[in-house]
Amino acid sequence: MPGNIRPIAPVRIDPNRPDPALIQHAAQTIQSGGVIIFPTSGLYGLGADATNRDAVHRIFQIKRRVTKKPILVLIQNADQLDRWVTTLPEMARNLIDRHWPGGITLIFKARQHLPTNLTAGTEKIGIRVPAHPVARALVESVDFPVTATSANIADDPGCAAINDLPPSLIEDVDLILDAGTLSGGKGSTVVDVTAESLKILRSGTVPTEQIFSIKKPPFH
């Protein structure tokens, strides 16, 4: 699906009780290779089918993002992880139990069938289960991961309101879901769980002390 020749009007969506018809429209848009702007917990994100190499390429073009930087994705729940990652370390299970859905993105070793431009050749994939009702409804309406990189031009601040979006982004996407002004602030905390010890790649909404506060996961 090509980008728009002229800007499209944002579509209002209830942030707490999203209209199923609007969610289905958004799902169909990304299923057909489109790119949408949608709300996450603090900032607006760019959503596309993360398994569609061409759609992922559009994300890079829209953001003017260098291709060596991978793009994180959203999934429905932790039960889907084995479809996209090779291993699920115990320390990752601990963080998942305590912080999903929510503001922590975990970096796993990616399965080889994922597009290489999504992982930027790192053989790793960043995954989160979203907390925002609109984002949750969206990922629950499709059978693939949805990209959730921030809706901004690379290296510029993220946007908590549709009016703050760069005009070029609005011109290049296929649908904009406007849930009003979001909370803003930091993005998700990004934690690499592919090594023997946790490594925080980006500070965010989940404080560092919370991540390292539990020595062992509470298995039953």
Condensed to tens digits (0 to 9), the pLDDT of residues 119-147 reads 999 999 999 999 999 999 999 999 999 99
Instruction: List CB contacts of 155: < 8 A, sequence separation 6 or more.
Output: none
| In the chain, where the domains are located | 11-211
Domain 11-211: assigned CATH number: 3.90.870.10
Q: Which residues of the chain have pLDDT under 70?
A: 1-7, 214-220
Cα 33–chain centre separation: 16
* Residue 7: predicted pLDDT: 64
- What's the pTM value of the predicted model, to 2 decimals? 0.91
Report whether the peptide linkage leading into residue 18 is cis, meaning its omega lies within 30 degrees of zero.
no
Which is nearest to 8 in space by CA: 167, 182, 181?
167
Contact status, residue 48 vs residue 34, Cβ threshold 8 Å: yes
